Amino acid sequence: MSDTTSEKSAENAGRSGTRGTGKALGTQRETGGPGRTTIADGVVEKIAGMAARDVVGVSAMGGGLARTFGAVRDRVPGGGSSVTQGVKAEVGESQTALDLEVVVDYGVSIAQVARSVRENVISAVERMTGLEVVEVNIAVSDVKLPDEEDEDDESDRPRLQ
Global pTM? 0.66
Q: How far apart are the first and last CA of the chain?
A: 83
- Closest Cα to residue 108, out of 150, 55, 52, 48? 55
| Per-position pLDDT tens, the chain of length 161 | 444 444 433 333 333 333 333 333 333 334 457 898 899 999 999 999 999 999 999 999 998 655 455 555 555 665 555 899 999 999 999 999 999 999 999 999 999 999 999 999 999 999 999 999 999 999 999 999 998 765 544 444 454 54
